[in-house]
Chains A and B, each alone.
Chain A
Amino acid sequence: MSLVNFTAREITCKIVYYGPGRSGKTTNLQYVYGRVPENRRGRMVSLATQTDRTLFFDFLPLELGTISGFTTKFQLYTVPGQSYYNATRKLVLQGADGVVFVGDSQARRFDDNLESLQNLQDNLLSQGVDVRQLPVVFQYNKQDLPADLVLSQEEMDDALNFRAVPSYPADALHGAGVFETLRGISELVLKRLAVGTPVG
């Protein structure tokens, strides 16, 4: 749940990057970390295995700037994608204000995307959160791969994006779509925060 400090006029929101293993969640955060000036970001923490797979979470605190007179801070988290880390995924998801679902556009990862999306819905439901009530955007990563290996944005939307929430094609490794995705989820989260009513 986002925190609003009326005295210091600060808003802090928690955004979780969710999706199947190796879809590029950590890469999104790494790209943001690399592009943002040092005085506007904290340390990026990665709790990873020896082979650089996310074990618990990656975490990046960001200071967005002043919006409507409130200093706005975002906490970006990723979850471990591999299916056997569901317990830690649930923990990280606790209290999320918004979710970026990072899908892997490769056709051979189609089922993994579906499974992960279903898992997101189940985990939110187990915490009493209806996915329809939570700001969510989709990012279809790895769109830079050869066209015969990947599904297009429209095909990915058909497969995953039943609620027609904003979706963004991306090549997170080189930064394409990363900014747009963060902008999209920020807008939804702040809109929801402002009106206090569900989005979508």
Chain B
Amino acid sequence: MKALEPWVVDPLETFLAESAARLTLLMTSSGQVVAQHGFSRSLDVMTAAALGAGIVASTEELARLTGAGRFEGLVHNGQRQSCLLAAFATPRGRWIGLVVFGPETSVGIVRLFFDQMVHQLVAAAPRELAPSAPMLAENFETELNASLKALFGR
């Protein structure tokens, strides 16, 4: 399990233990990952987060257009795995949870402990923002150029 900030760890670990979820991602509404469990390749995590955030954004827009208010969650039932996607408010803005689970648990259990995790996250979130500007070295442009050149093989 990886989390961007330490206060996310306890609620997420409790959720994972209680719900028996296989994979879990917590992300911002613009698709940036804040915590993850069960994904092995970091670049795939970004893709899953981008798609999850896209789905939530479009269903919320659909809810607005149809006057349905806000959808609380979306469940995809699969033969071997299912998926819960739900957005929630935190003191750090709107976040999204993407949970993949199998037949060893149920959507009811996952939803129940997901809601509990949301309450715990809201309670645990520090009200003050951590510093977010990294100190980049003066020669970062040289490093950037070298990285991009290496990336493009030129």
Contacts and interface: CB of A to CB of B under 8 A. Distances in A.
B50 A194 contact: no
B46 A187 contact: no
Interface of A: 1-8, 11-12, 14, 35-37, 40-43, 45, 47, 56-57, 59, 61-70, 72-73, 75, 77, 87-88, 91-92, 94-96, 179, 182-183, 186-187, 190-191, 193-196
B1 interface: no
Contacts of A42: 41, 43-44, 46-47
B134 A95 contact: no
Nearest to A61: B46
Interface in B132-154: 132-137, 140-141, 143-148, 150-154
B54 interface: yes
Given A65-B151, A68-B137, 9 more contacts: A4-B134, A5-B4, A11-B134, A37-B153, A59-B50, A61-B50, A65-B150, A183-B144, A194-B134
A187 B144 contact: yes
A194 B41 CA distance: 27
B153 to A, nearest CB: 7
Nearest to A3: B32
B33 interface: yes
A70 B143 CA distance: 11
A69 to B, nearest CB: 8
Report the contact-size class of chain B (Cβ under 8 Å from the partner).
35 or more
Given A66-B147, A88-B58, A95 B43 contact: no
B143 A67 contact: yes
Given A42-B44, A73-B46, A87-B61, A64 B148 contact: yes
A109 B42 CA distance: 39
Nearest to A45: B47
Contacts of A195: 133
B57 interface: yes
B123 interface: no
A67 B136 contact: yes
A2 B133 CA distance: 10
A77 B33 CA distance: 16
Nearest to A196: B133
B29 interface: yes
A61 B47 contact: yes
Contacts of B143: 65-68
